[in-house]
Amino acid sequence: MNSKLFSELGLSPALLKAVDRLGYEKAAPIQAEAIPMIMSGSDVVGQSQTGSGKTAAFGIPAVELVDPHVGFVQVIILCPTRELAVQVAEEIFKLSAFKRGVQSVPIYGGQSYNHQIRALQHGAQIVIGTPGRVLDHMERGTLVLDRVKLVVLDEADEMLNMGFRDDIERILKTVPTERQFICFSATMAKAIMELIKQFGRNPKTIRLEHKTLTVPTVEQTYYEIRNRSKTEALTRLIDHHDLKLGVIFCNTKRTVDELTNDLVARGYSADRIHGDMSQAQRERVMTKFRNSGLEFLIATDVAARGIDVEKIEAVFNYDLPWDEEDYVHRIGRTGRVGRSGRAFSLVAGRDIYKLQSIERYTGTKVTREQLPTLDEVEEKRTNLFFDKIHGALQTGDFERESPVVDRLLELGFSSTDIACAVIHELRKDDVRYLKDRITEPSQGLALAQARSKRPRKADVQNSKNNR
Ligand code: AMP
């Protein structure tokens, strides 16, 4: 599969800067394929799932294509729902941050016409809309598509399922025939193929070929949680499993930075590695990690390529990768040379689709688990501590300390009080000693846990219905 840096895709400095600001380190496979194809002027048909990075795959060329000096609509992107239209518009807005004069507007049902008309009159060149509302504006004469250069159908199968076929056809018949046609769809059902045949001109097809990879035998589990509870969930898992050496993967450099700061602030021994760091900086961090001077390495895929450190106990997918192959590479960092390893994935919202496609690709089952509660974590840690002391008592290797105990006994303290005070002193500096560190679980996490008790199928259905 194609794994490329954005700098290899022929983008303008403005777009490269925007992508960098978004924290994207390398192009997702669909982006590596689609961007050069679309920028060369071809019609493109891509089979893609949500979460594959398809928005930027068509969004980047769309922004590149726009002539910012003229104020008429040059790109029209059709989406099935208002939520998706808003989401796509947000990404396009960010992608055009450094290309002066580019304006985009989402238009969808349920929002006042006036607001949308004002934006259109203002000279927006990129319109992202639901078919019904786009047609309404065309009929009112407030949206003119006679100079459109690029049409994108996003989630085409969903639009057809929702009965938008006639609307889409009417829109496509209105735009000039000399325009580029891009169609992304999760499935390539008969109706989609007919639409492509009718409106595409020798479209190039994107098929993301997978190399066959050996999937390591690592115990894989996932936890359904809210996005904002990810760090809390992560630290709970680290504490509960008493992990001492792990790699935590994030999808963007920005998340790596934020999470590293968060973990260090919470008292964990953690550092980062990503593509914005110099080779020397990266090597310094890696050496520290290799020599156990560091417990947790927070990394992007690019930076972590080739990490080969023995005894890594666990890999965390703080963000699930959009590329199934990256998942395999990530979890392969643990369980090396016959050791047992664990892979924990945090799954928020629509990530569940990504997880399903990872499971399909790897042919393995990732087991759903409940996050341990704070009480469970604390009990586990107390048991660990107990085992340690118990072990020391059994081996009898503590004679050296008896003068201190004798002095305390002479002062009249009971042996129980002395033992309790010693234990307290020992544990109070342990960042993982929860009583001192965390009081109540965040509401988000509590809610998310309640939610994750629901059966998985129903969850998938729910997220579908909400779209
Ligand atoms: P999409 O499939 O377009 O909905 O994208 C899924 C998520 O991946 C979005 O949150 C994007 O912001 C993010 N994303 C897209 N491309 C990249 C990339 N190259 N690197 C990191 N994150 C990305």
Give the start-to-end residue ranges of the domains of the chain.
Answer: 4-207, 219-368, 374-427
Give 219-368's CATH code, choosing from 3.90.580.10, 3.40.640.10, 3.20.20.20, 3.40.50.300.
3.40.50.300
In the reported structure, the alpha carbon of residue 30 is separated from the centroid of ligand 1 by a whole-number distance in angstroms of 11
Q: Is the pLDDT of residue 458 over 60?
A: no
What span, in angstroms and rounded, lies between the C-alpha atoms of 440 and 88?
37
User: Is 54 near ligand 1, meaning CB less than 6 Å away?
Assistant: yes
Which residue's alpha carbon is at the smallest distance from atom 22 of ligand 1?
24
Span 10-31, average pLDDT: 93
Helices (H) and strands (E) in the chain, counts: 21, 14
Is 249 in contact with 301 (CB distance < 8 Å)? Answer: yes
Span 231-235, average pLDDT: 96
Query: 64-73, 176-185, 360-369: which range is least confident on average?
Result: 360-369
The CA-atom distances, in angstroms, between 172 and each of 125, 160, 175, 178, 434 are 17, 14, 6, 11, 60
Count other C-beta atoms under 10 Å from residue 377's C-beta.
Answer: 22
What span, in angstroms and rounded, lies between the C-alpha atoms of 385 and 435?
14
What span, in angstroms and rounded, lies between the C-alpha atoms of 48 and 66?
24
User: In ligand 1, which atom is closest to the CA atom of 59?
Assistant: 3
In the reported structure, the alpha carbon of residue 290 is separated from the centroid of ligand 1 by a whole-number distance in angstroms of 31
Q: Is the pLDDT of residue 263 over 80?
A: yes
User: Is 48 near ligand 1, meaning CB less than 6 Å away?
Assistant: no
Q: Is the pLDDT of residue 450 over 50?
A: no
Pocket test for ligand 1, best of 3, 322, 351 (most atoms within 8 A of CB): 322
User: In ligand 1, which atom is closest to the CA atom of 26?
Assistant: 19
Banded pLDDT at 334 (limits 50, 70, 90): confident
Query: Same topology for domains 4-207 and 219-368, yes or no?
Result: yes
In this prediction, residue 241 carries a pLDDT of: 92
In the reported structure, the alpha carbon of residue 259 is separated from the centroid of ligand 1 by a whole-number distance in angstroms of 18
In this prediction, residue 318 carries a pLDDT of: 98
User: Is 180 near ligand 1, meaning CB less than 6 Å away?
Assistant: no
β-pairing verdict for 296-299 and 342-347 = unpaired
Which residue's alpha carbon is at the smallest distance from atom 11 of ligand 1?
53
In the reported structure, the alpha carbon of residue 55 is separated from the centroid of ligand 1 by a whole-number distance in angstroms of 7
N-to-C CA span, the chain:
30
Mean pLDDT over each residue of the chain, to the nearest integer: 86
Span 311-330, average pLDDT: 90
Query: Is residue 322 classed as helix, strand or coil in its secondary structure?
Result: coil
What is the fold of 4-207? Answer: Rossmann fold (3.40.50)
Question: To the nearest whole percent, how much of the chain has pLDDT over 70?
Answer: 88
Joined together, the tokens standing for residue 196 give 């492509």
User: Is 3 near ligand 1, meaning CB less than 6 Å away?
Assistant: no
Banded pLDDT at 92 (limits 50, 70, 90): very high
Return the higher-pLDDT residue of 121 and 278.
Answer: 121
At position 139, the amino acid (one-letter code) is: E
Span 334-358, average pLDDT: 85
Which residue's alpha carbon is at the smallest distance from atom 18 of ligand 1?
24
Q: Is the pLDDT of residue 345 over 50?
A: yes
